[in-house]
Amino acid sequence: MTDIINSNDSLPHKRRIRYKGKYPRQFKEKYKELHPEKYSGIVEKVINKGSTPAGMHIPIMVNEILDFLQIHPGMIGLDATLGYGGHTLQMLKKLNHHGHIYACDVDPLESEKTKKRLYKEGFDENTLTVKLMNFSCIDELSQSAGLFDFVLADLGVSSMQIDNPDRGFSYKNDGPLDLRLNPQTGISAAERLQDITQPELEGMLIDNADEPFAYEISQVITEDIRQNQVIDTTKKLHNEIKKALAHLPYKDRELAIKKASARTFQALRIDVNHEYEALYDFLAKLPHVLKPKGRVAILTFHSGEDRLVKKAFKEFYHRGIYNQIAKDVLRPSKEECIRNSRAHSTKMRWAIKA
């Protein structure tokens, strides 16, 4: 035993790599934000500045969701998009350890972290079941779980996915051009681009992101790929968009490139994850997994998603399956948008089963 202790004591101490400047800029350098359980004060400061700490996700419209769902002990609910678990935690608190919440997520990396985090909050398998599955399979889940009193679906990508450059969700940090919610299945965005045609890419940019420069961007990307260029990092794709919009006046160019990059990444993410197909299936199956008078709230973050939700809710309302639906979207308050800049584009729609 003494030899083991002496051996461990002799191991050289590895210092944490220091970041340049006063504050950390890179995702992996933000070790305090990435460990909120140890550095709660730092995390609070970041949130109070209106930013999202690295590795975290701030739930949006929590009060509005809870007000509508009217959760009380004994209910059975579904969080169809678990993510960081912020909404789930608040719904679990409403159940007060009486009832059960099922939660779905396709991301094997983040869902396991979230499960452990929620268990540390005092919940366990008696009140929470986490399933690694797409919300398009809610009918399969309902076969074992039964019908639900309430369902929540937050269709936004979680901040911890967006901010991690290894996941490739944003042009703001250089990393592999992946964009898969589940990096263990399917093909990456880089692989998707390798064989895409110009009309196909143009259509994707229009259908998935309403991109006004879809033709110019698709022309540049497909032409460069034909010239054997490999677009396999977020920076390379961002540079392609810069190249495509180089003709714009200088005073308009920078903002146009930022917006076009965000929309292009969105369009590719929707495509490689088959998000619209999954949403179609989810919305079609949703009424059939709700109890009578069951409630559903859905948060959307761009016009394509919102159109699908609005259309599905209206269709089932006219067929008498829902007896109430939101006439207008609910939006986060001005105060919430100040605290959390990622809340700006959020729209909430709801429905109640007959």
pLDDT tens-place string over residues 156-209: 887 767 777 888 888 888 999 999 999 889 999 999 999 999 999 999 999 999
- Quote the pLDDT of residue 38: 52
Other CB atoms within 10 A of residue 229 CB: 12
Do 66 and 149 have their domain in common? yes
Q: Is residue 277 part of a domain?
A: no
- 78-87, 103-112, 307-316 — which one is most confidently predicted on average? 307-316
Long-range interactions of 62-66: CB distance < 8 A, separation 24+:
62/86, 62/87, 62/90, 64/330, 64/332, 64/348, 65/152, 65/297, 65/299, 65/348, 66/90, 66/91, 66/94
Task: Tell me the CATH number at 343.
Answer: 3.40.50.150
Confidence class for position 51, pLDDT limits 50, 70, 90: low
CATH of the domain at 241: 1.10.150
Domain closes at, from 272, 298, 322: 272
Cβ contact 232:192 at 8 Å? no
- Confidence (pLDDT) at 163: 76
pLDDT range class, residue 340, cuts 50, 70, 90: confident
Residue 341 predicted with pLDDT over 50 = yes
* Residue 252 predicted with pLDDT over 50: yes
If one counts the domains in the chain, the total is 2
Give me the percent of the chain exceeding a pLDDT of 90.
71
Give me the domain span that covers residue 308: 62-159+286-353
Lowest-confidence segment of 14-23, 105-114, 217-226, 287-296 by average pLDDT: 14-23
Could you tell me the pLDDT band of residue 277, with boundaries at 50, 70 and 90? very high
**Residue-level pLDDT at 56:** 61
pLDDT band per the 50, 70, 90 thresholds, residue 310: very high
User: What average pLDDT is seen over the chain?
Assistant: 87
Q: Is the pLDDT of residue 57 over 70?
A: no
The answer to whether residue 50 sits within a structural domain is no
Mean predicted confidence (pLDDT) in 65-81: 97
The pLDDT of residue 17 is above 90: no
Q: What is residue 167's predicted lDDT score, i.e. its pLDDT?
A: 84
Q: State whether the Cα torsion 256-259-265-268 is positive or negative.
A: negative
4 inside domain: no
Instruction: Give the per-residue pLDDT at 44.
Output: 55
Do 291 and 208 share a structural domain?
A: no
pLDDT at 100 over 80: yes
Model confidence at 23, in pLDDT bands (50, 70, 90)?
low
pTM for the predicted model, two decimal places:
0.82
Q: What is the pLDDT of residue 36?
A: 54
11: confidence class by pLDDT, cuts 50, 70, 90:
very low
Contact partners, residue 301, CB within 8 Å, separation at least 6: 155, 156, 345, 346, 347
Mean of pLDDT values over 258-275: 95
User: Does one domain contain both 69 and 154?
Assistant: yes
My answer on whether 259 and 300 are in the same domain is no
Distance CA 97, CA 242 (A): 53
- On whether residue 105 sits in a domain, the answer given is yes
Reported as a single tens digit per residue, the pLDDT across 115-133 is 998 999 999 999 999 999 9
Find the mean pLDDT for residues 206-227: 96
Query: What is the rounded distance in angstroms from the CA atom of residue 153 to the CA atom of residue 281?
Result: 13
**Over residues 295-304, mean pLDDT:** 95
239, 272, 305: which is the final residue of a domain?
Answer: 272
How would you write 285-308 as a 3-class SS string? HHHHHEEEEEEEEEEECCHHHHHH
Query: In the β-sheet with 347-353, what is the strand arrangement from edge to edge?
Result: 128-132, 100-105, 76-79, 148-154, 290-300, 347-353, 322-325
